[in-house]
Amino acid sequence: MSLINIPLPSTAVIREVGLRDGLQSIQTILPSEHKRAWVQAAHAAGVREIEIGSFVPKRLLPQLADTAELVAYARTLPELFVSALVPNLRGAENAIASGVDLMIVPLSASHAHSLANLRKTPDEVVAEVARIRAARDAAGAKTLIEGGVGTAFGCTLQGEVEPDEVLRLMQALLDAGADRVSLADTVGYAGPAAVSRLFERAVAIAGEQFWCGHFHDTRGLGLANVYAAMQAGVTRFDACLGGIGGCPHAPGASGNVTTEDLAFMLESMGVGTGLDIGQLLSLRERLSDWLRGETLHGTLWRAGLPKTFHPHSSQAAQSAILA
């Protein structure tokens, strides 16, 4: 067996989701001022896609109550593609009104998880996506719709989730009018072999509409899973600065894949990310100050970049800073 010629992509996109998936899972409510500083510094470090918050009722997620305001700020930064999560039609209407570039509708492939968290069956979420698509089109808005299939590798309530069911729901989201689809290992159950198998099938089904891989590092396999997904043809990954987040039901559990570690892995393989890792590490230090008392994750920050490290994106990041 020779895999020496596995073609890795020349570039990949890291979508920073710390402001949404990270902050919604921790206790501290980060003031808007610090969120804006985070967005600004991330942009200066080369981040060009960001999930900035969630259009949910403020009483449910006070941590993300300033989402609309943050979208408005993020839109002032050049070339920044801004996403937000929307749980339903009402959230989507608010998202469209905010001028966000893309709205992510989460669907949980685990029926038990879906009922517990969204109070809808997965197929009811698909129907909601059809309504969101109709509303988007009626408004003449350009806001893209991403259907994100979560608990794609199992869930803490239901246990096993069948890959066939995951892919059926992904196809149903496309049929309902989602412009993009993604798969998420919401609870950190996936290993790289399962990722290879499922993502290959997903990419074969959705083609260019397959948008993003979303991995949690709950059990340490986040980066190995990204590598496996990349071999399956995926070139966009969600990540959180400092690996913040986790799960309210698993104290101390890690959150998403760590942005700076992922950027290092990709750049070390010659996969350009456009990110300046030194700047990301500096921003991580500021985040660590802002979130004193919260646990940050990741590994690169302890040892720093290797002496041999030649970033493939330094030029891009430099231009970004000067822009």
Complex with a second copy: residue 58 or 197, whichever CB lies closer: 197
247 is catalytic: yes
Instruction: Pick out residues in 87-146 that bind a second copy (CB under 8 A).
Output: none
Q: Which stretch binds a second copy (CB under 8 A): 27-35, 73-81, 168-176, 301-309?
A: 301-309
**CA–CA distance, 63 with 207 (Å, rounded to integer):** 35
Report the residue from 57, 207, 248, 306 that binds a second copy according to the rule CB under 8 A: 306
Q: Would you give the binding string for a second copy spanning residues 204-233, x where CB under 8 A is met?
A: -------------xxxxx-xx-xxx--xxx
Residue 302 within binding range of a second copy, rule CB under 8 A: yes
Among residues 65, 44, 45, 46, which one has the least CA distance to residue 54? 65
End-to-end CA distance of the chain: 46
How many residues touch a second copy (CB under 8 A)?
A: 60
CB 50 within 8 A of CB 82: yes
Q: Would you give the binding string for a second copy spanning residues 261-280, x where CB under 8 A is met?
A: x--xx--xxx----------
DSSP string, 83-123: EEE-SSHHHHHHHHHHT-SEEEEEEESSHHHHHHHHSS-HH
Closest approach of a second copy to the CB of residue 287, in Å: 17
Residue 311 within binding range of a second copy, rule CB under 8 A: no
Residue 171 within binding range of a second copy, rule CB under 8 A: no
Distance of CA 238 to CAs 19, 97, 138, 243, Å?
12, 24, 30, 11
Closest approach of a second copy to the CB of residue 133, in Å: 31
Residue 7 within binding range of a second copy, rule CB under 8 A: yes
Written as one letter, the residue type at 261 is D
Report residue 240: phi and psi, to 5°.
Answer: -115, 130
Closest approach of a second copy to the CB of residue 153, in Å: 8
Annotated catalytic sites, by residue?
247
